[in-house]
Amino acid sequence: MWKTLKSCLIIERSNKGNLYSLVFVALFIIVFMFIVSDDNFGNPLVDTTTEYQSISTAMSKFQIVDANAPENSDTTYSKLIQLRQMISLKSAGLKMDKEEMLYKASNRIINLRDAVYKSEEYNLVKDLVPPKIHNENERAFVNALWEREITLNQDSLQYWQFLLIVFSVIGIAWFPFLSLYTSGIMIEDFQHSTILKGYPVRFDQYVIAKGITKLFLILSFIALIFIISLPLIQVKGIGVANYPVIVYSDSPVAYTIPQYILLCLTIMFVITIFTLLLSIIFNMIFKNLYITLFIQLILYFLPILFPSLISVLPYNPFNFLNFNMILEGGTLAISNPVDVTFFDGFIILSICILIMLIIVQRFLSTGKLKRA
């Protein structure tokens, strides 16, 4: 097995596609730095302004009344007026860097949103206020900021803050990238089958060795993210590692940035193995790179384009591949909410990996390659 693995590594070293992929990852990180350097990127003041405008639109759905009148003090309209006032106060706290003002305004906003959710007219403004799960996540985030005595405004180009942004958005692109990279993993072997027939190794062992080789290369792509980002320590500083990141796991939990990145890396590792095995099996079935890639991307994008499918098939493994959405509790924000977590995803993907390994071992173990 080790000799087969060594041979696969030698072959992959001469594959220009791997070099192109490394260059692509490096350029992506560098370009992403320029995108993040924009003052509006990740600026909480921009988000606050957007919510202010949404609440103003929500207010327009109601007849203008005197919110101070006793009979109107507990209406949805009055709650929206108070909410807009608190959003203005939060904006002032951000602009003046007043942490106590910001904390009190944020908590008041969260409580007012709760009141709107419970109101009879909530359905009228449902699309104009943040989802309930967003509100719960923000409550945990604000409390963690206050408890850890960390300011909300941070330089996005500091090392830890930049890595947080990268790993907060990488989830939606990780599986498509892996699909592009691995969709032809066995195609060349079919095209040069006469050469492979001379290898004194079982076909399933060769396939697994090739998959492990690809896995090593993919891990090097991930390592490159950290290496390319290192100069930011010298230029902007290391940042605040203790900055809270909210992960939904039955309830919102505040992680530190290193904890969150470690969780993302673990999920990415599992998804990588899942994708490698899926590409190998699809290559065996269809013997075509483009069909393999097309089917993988269709299966991935269907739950994203049609979220209602998540409610119908909540434990479909492809629901968990856009893992940032799962970590945020995004399935609770769709029209028919489903409570699934990253832990559910681990179990589902692990079962799928086990099944695919059995398929590779049982159906591809045709003795020596010369008899394959």
| Angle at which helices 171-182 and 203-229 cross, to 10° | 140
Q: What is the pLDDT of residues 228-266, one digit of tens each?
A: 999 999 999 999 999 999 999 989 999 999 999 999 999
Q: What is the pLDDT of residues 36-92, one digit of tens each?
A: 887 667 788 888 999 999 999 999 887 665 555 555 556 888 899 999 999 999 999
Q: 3-class secondary structure for 52-94? A: HHHHHHHHCCCCCCCCCCHHHCCCHHHHHHHHHHHHHHHHHHH
Please enumerate in sequence order all residues whose Cβ is within 8 A of that of 22, keeping only pairs 6 or more positions apart, or say none: 220, 221, 224
200 exposure class (CB count in 10 Å sphere: 0-12, 13-18, 19+): exposed
State the Cα–Cα distance between residues 274 and 290, nearest whole angstrom: 19
Residue 317 contacts residue 224 (beta carbons within 8 Å): no
pLDDT number for residue 17: 80
State the Cα–Cα distance between residues 183 and 247, nearest whole angstrom: 31
**pTM score, whole prediction:** 0.90
State the Cα–Cα distance between residues 49 and 47, nearest whole angstrom: 5
Please report, to the nearest 10 degrees, the dihedral formed by the alpha carbons of residues 15, 16, 20, 21 taken in order: -10
Instruction: State which amino acid sits at residue 250.
Output: D
Spans of the chain, pLDDT less than 50: 367-372
247 forms beta bridges with 253
Q: How many CA atoms lie within 13 A of 260 on its CB side?
A: 28
For the chain, what are the domain ranges? Answer: 2-38+156-371, 44-148
pLDDT number for residue 146: 92
